Amino acid sequence: MLYVFELWIVIVSLLVLNLCHWIYQWRNPKCNGKLLPGSMGFPIIGETFEFMKPHDVLQFPSFVKKRVIRHGPVFRTSLFGSKVIISMDNELNMEIAKTNRTIGVPKSITRLFGDNNLFVQSIESHKHVRSLTFQLLGPQGLKLRVIEDIDLLARKHMEEGARNGFLNVKEAASKILIECLAKKVMGDMDPETAKELAICWRKFPSGWFRFPFKIPGMGVYDMMKARKRMMNLLKEVVLKKRASGEEFGEFFKIIFGENERGKEKMSVENAINYIYTFFLIANETTPRILAATVKLISEKPRVMQELQREHARIVGDRSEKDAALTWEDYKSMTFTHMVINESLRITTTVPVVLRKPDHDIQVGDYTIPAGWTFMGYPNVHFNPEKYEDPFVFNPWRWKGKDLSALVSKNYVPFGAGPRLCVGAYFAKLLMAIFIHNLCRYRWSMKVETTVTRSYMLMFPQGCDVQFSEDTKVD
């Protein structure tokens, strides 16, 4: 009996010793040089819960601000089971963005997009699909193929909202985006398939950034189930169209046209995977940013008046009041573009540079180890030396500046370098057309409507606009 008791003491002691060693290794990661200051938190969990606490959209997370005070503008931490470097240093962010091509994201996102996803994994394939996508969603593609469809869809949803007396901005923008992209990519779909795809979209929870455990009841598990069903639906549509000779949307025409000309090929499976990825990212980002923009406009009567004046002029200059919006109309929306630029500047309080360096990087006396996730925040957006009163929403600060630029040294809402957001032009177009059609009505947003961030933009009280009874603007 005594022997068994002593054996258990030895076993428990070894377990405790191994546990302590594991915790020590977690808190003190190996590094070829001097590791940046910071804390790794608890094993696996790290400091994720504090990082994900909701915060005001116009402020950086208190998690980041506290650690900048304690450790400086670049520090280490652990989030979502991964080792992470967080940077508020704009010069370092731009250097990392330009010299590193491998995207750095938590494993939950890698699983959501698929391990073989072209968008996440292959550098060369990423360059290829960027080129293909730009043919559809670059300025020329938007001008020839997209602008009229978005305008018609925006009008339809706005008229429906006016009849009901209210409109959920995020939901309406999401429907416009999906209906437009689905048609341009896939072509016409039967109503049942389109309905089932819409149901799959609603299965995706807002918090992509989750712990990477595929366990029933957890977010990643639900995401993976929705992803599998959606991928199967998209594949069924593509194979059915190919077999019957039905017409595809523009994106598949571009892909299949390339294959026929003997250029670099993309398999149907990879094309479907990429389309799924692009749809998911676009649907979870642009509608939220647009809803936050509408909220900012609603709080500034002078901004709303100037927008209504601009869009009344555009409508008034048409030979027919109900004529479709043209590319020239879009380019003439000077103040609208100023509003969009300012909204993107002030609401981008999340990392815009996400990379995973493939080699150690020296930062002063410190080393960023290869394989760690690098998250660069756009601290420059709130630098008072670059922007006067940076926490004030002021579209007029963009007067006389290049409103078509997606990125500059002091403006990085879409990231930078070779991973610059491929849908940036599309996002700005959708926002401008939505605002154009909204400003043809008299509308308001409830004072209690709030916008927060828990990495993604959140709307705890909803994001509805209310239309006045005498709703049409003269």
CB neighbourhood size of 144 (10 A)? 12
Burial status of residue 267 (CB atoms within 10 A of its CB: 0-12, 13-18, 19 or more): exposed
The structure tokens 């590319």 sit at 327
Residue 422 and residue 435: Cα distance in Å, rounded? 22
Let me know the angle formed at the C-alpha of 336 by 166 and 399, rounded to the nearest 5 degrees: 150
Let me know the angle formed at the C-alpha of 390 by 342 and 71, rounded to the nearest 5 degrees: 120
Q: Is the four-CA dihedral 163, 169, 175, 181 of positive or negative sign?
A: positive
Distances (CA, A) of 68 to 74, 75, 88, 184, 379: 7, 8, 8, 45, 11
Q: Is the four-CA dihedral 180, 181, 182, 188 of positive or negative sign?
A: positive
Task: Give φ, ψ of 378 to 5 degrees.
Answer: -80, 60
Residue 435 and residue 325: Cα distance in Å, rounded? 13
Give the list of residues 6+ apart from residue 203 with CB closer than 8 angstroms, or none. 222, 223, 225, 226, 229
Residue 372 and residue 146: Cα distance in Å, rounded? 39
CB neighbourhood size of 470 (10 A)? 9
Task: Give φ, ψ of 246 to 5 degrees.
Answer: -70, 160
Question: Is position 439 annotated in a ligand binding site?
Answer: no
What 3 state SS string does 34-103 have? CECCECCCECCCECHHHHCCCEECCCCCHHHHHHHHHHCCEEEEEECCEEEEEECCHHHHHHHHHHCCCE
Burial status of residue 2 (CB atoms within 10 A of its CB: 0-12, 13-18, 19 or more): exposed
The rounded radius of gyration (Å) of the Cα atoms in the chain is 24
Q: Which residues are annotated binding-site positions?
A: 421
Q: Which residues are annotated binding-site positions for heme?
A: 421
